[in-house]
Amino acid sequence: MAVAGCTAIMCATALLAFTGPWADGGPPTGSGDLPVLARANGVDLGVAVAVDPLLGDGGYRDVVGGHYTSVTAENTMKWDHVQPERGVFDWSGPDAMVDFAEAHGMNARGHTLLWHNQQPEWLSRGEWTSAELRGVLREHMEALMGRYQGRIGAWDVINEPFEDGEPFLRENLWHQVLGEDYIAEALRMAHEVDPGARLYINEFNIEGGGAKTDALYALAADLLDRGVPLHGIGFQGHFVHGQVPGNLAETMNRFTDLGLEVTVTELDVRIAEPVSEQAVRDQREEFRHVVAACLEVPDCRGVTVWGVSDAHSWIPEWFPGYDAATPFDEDYSPKPALWGMVDALSREPSGRSAGRTPRGRRRERTPAP
Ligand code: G3I
């Protein structure tokens, strides 16, 4: 069904009319118009991609290119992939992703520049002075951000800086060697390397508020007060079915009130096994809720789903006993969750300017470094 050029409301009407029977349990169709709806709402609807299926699996490529407006590198831009040996860079995966995005008229998000996981041994086991580690970080940023300057609009510069369930800064390599101001230092460095990129701190378990959220809020406020070039907060959004926080928009608004943008960067909703049909149906409302929360927040730039299908999701490996966390099943059939996102995007909230691209809505009052 082609609805190119329609307004959000027209698209929604056409889609709902076309897919009405699915509300009663039938198979969904027409969901390939999600990009039209997302763009009409001025947000990105993204997905994290893996390189091998992006290059070699037609079904995977169709899902990505047909349903989303942006892609994030699930793994291929992490240190262990990009710079497996010091000074030896592998651009095959990142190039493939960015080329795919451009060929399909999609945006690309960069993920990630400083993290405690997926560091190559030469980096994690190195004996670094602060000056040496600074040099290594600059080389990495200049190579990676520099290569995609103007092609990747937003970077998760700092990933998961707080302890898993705690409001304390994580004792990662960067913290240990550079000291706790490593976050400000890295953001300033990233801004020097690519002054046009939107620079994010990306974190999990912050979506419903609490001590960790408060600590991140205090950090973000302090960075902004000091003129550090922080532009956005990524709310990862790794949720458990039945526990998606109702106050997500409220939490995001706390950060946008500081002058930051926000993005839901890694959405999935894992379901405990055995996965019931009812749970899969109820997941629709949870995906709707998250996208609707983003639309409620004027400076929410979009929602990215973490994994193209349940066959490609990190959940079964990392959370044994859970599955079915994404909007497509293992055969690439859309699930009710996908329709939940259509539901949200079909109801354009007042105050959000339709038709503008997320890139076109950049905030200009970025603090000077
Ligand atoms: O690279 C090896 C490959 O050589 C080997 O053949 C294969 C065999 O299983 O494993 C490959 O490593 C896997 C790696 O992804 C691919 O680079 C690991 O097993 C796998 O555990 C690893 O998981 C990734 C995880 O980050 C690592 O921490 C997930 O795919 C990825 O979805 C996940 O992403 C993170 C975000 O970056 C940050 N937020 C949390 C999110 C979930 O952990």
User: Closest residue (by CA) to atom 35 of ligand 1?
Assistant: 74
For ligand 1, say whether the CB of 117 is within 6 Å of any of its atoms: yes
Tell me the C-alpha distance between 329 and 31, whole Å: 14
Active site annotation includes 102 = no
User: Closest residue (by CA) to atom 42 of ligand 1?
Assistant: 314
Active site annotation includes 160 = yes
For ligand 1, say whether the CB of 72 is within 6 Å of any of its atoms: no
Residue 356 lies in a domain: no
Residue 333 lies in a domain: yes
User: Closest residue (by CA) to atom 9 of ligand 1?
Assistant: 317
Residue 256 lies in a domain: yes
pLDDT of residue 14: 40
CA–centroid distance, 48 to ligand 1, in Å, is 12
Among the options 160, 203, 261, 286, which is catalytic? 160
Ligand 1 atom with minimal separation from the 306 CA: 32
User: Closest residue (by CA) to atom 11 of ligand 1?
Assistant: 75
Domain count, the chain: 1
Q: CA separation (Å) from 137 to 123, 134, 193, 340, 344?
A: 10, 5, 11, 41, 40
CB atoms within 10 A of CB 119: 18
Q: Would you give the distance in Å from CA 265 to the centre of its chain?
A: 2
Residue 262 lies in a domain: yes
pLDDT of residue 165: 86
Question: pLDDT (tens digit, 9 = 90+) per residue, 257-311?
Answer: 999 999 999 999 999 999 999 999 999 999 999 999 999 999 999 999 999 999 9
CA–centroid distance, 133 to ligand 1, in Å, is 24
User: Closest residue (by CA) to atom 23 of ligand 1?
Assistant: 314
Print the domain residue range for 96. Answer: 34-345
For ligand 1, say whether the CB of 314 is within 6 Å of any of its atoms: yes
Tell me the C-alpha distance between 336 and 288, whole Å: 10
Mutate to test the pocket of ligand 1, among 51, 75, 82 (most ligand atoms within 8 A of CB): 75
Residue 362 lies in a domain: no
pLDDT of residue 362: 38
pLDDT of residue 254: 98
- φ/ψ of residue 339, rounded to 5: -70, -25
Looking at the DSSP bridge assignments, the partners of residue 233 are: 201, 262
CA–centroid distance, 270 to ligand 1, in Å, is 17
Alpha helix ranges (H) inside the chain: 8-19, 34-40, 51-56, 58-67, 79-82, 92-103, 121-124, 130-147, 173-178, 182-193, 211-225, 248-256, 277-296, 315-318, 336-345
The burial of 320, by beta-carbon neighbours within 10 Å (0-12 exposed, 13-18 middle, 19 or more buried), is given as exposed
Q: Is the pLDDT of residue 348 over 80?
A: no
The burial of 168, by beta-carbon neighbours within 10 Å (0-12 exposed, 13-18 middle, 19 or more buried), is given as exposed
Among the options 74, 207, 261, 266, which is catalytic? 266
Residue 135 lies in a domain: yes
The CATH number of the domain where 322 resides is what? 3.20.20.80
For ligand 1, say whether the CB of 118 is within 6 Å of any of its atoms: yes
Tell me the C-alpha distance between 234 and 278, whole Å: 30
Cis peptide bond prior to 358, omega within 30° of 0: no
For ligand 1, say whether the CB of 107 is within 6 Å of any of its atoms: no
| Tokens describing residue 207 | 């979506």
> With bands split at pLDDT 50, 70 and 90, how would you rate the model's confidence at 316?
very high
CA–centroid distance, 365 to ligand 1, in Å, is 36
Residue 11 lies in a domain: no
More confident residue, 26 or 186: 186
CA–centroid distance, 210 to ligand 1, in Å, is 28
Question: pLDDT (tens digit, 9 = 90+) per residue, 84-130?
Answer: 999 999 999 999 999 999 999 999 999 999 999 999 999 999 999 99
> With bands split at pLDDT 50, 70 and 90, how would you rate the model's confidence at 17?
very low
**Furthest-apart CA pair in the chain: how many Å?**
63
Residue 13 lies in a domain: no
For ligand 1, say whether the CB of 164 is within 6 Å of any of its atoms: no
For ligand 1, say whether the CB of 316 is within 6 Å of any of its atoms: no
Question: pLDDT (tens digit, 9 = 90+) per residue, 180-213?
Answer: 999 999 999 999 999 999 999 999 999 999 999 9
Question: pLDDT (tens digit, 9 = 90+) per residue, 87-99?
Answer: 999 999 999 999 9
For ligand 1, say whether the CB of 74 is within 6 Å of any of its atoms: yes
Q: Work out whether the CA dihedral 152, 92, 74, 27 comes out positive or negative.
A: positive
Q: Is the pLDDT of residue 147 over 70?
A: yes
**First-to-final CA distance of the chain:** 48
pLDDT of residue 30: 56
For ligand 1, say whether the CB of 194 is within 6 Å of any of its atoms: no
Tell me the C-alpha distance between 114 and 278, whole Å: 40
Percent of the chain with pLDDT over 90: 85
Give, as one character, the DSSP assignment of residue 237.
Answer: -
Q: Are 91 and 84 in contact (CB under 8 A)?
A: no
- Which of 19-28, 54-63, 288-297, 322-331 has the lowest average pLDDT? 19-28
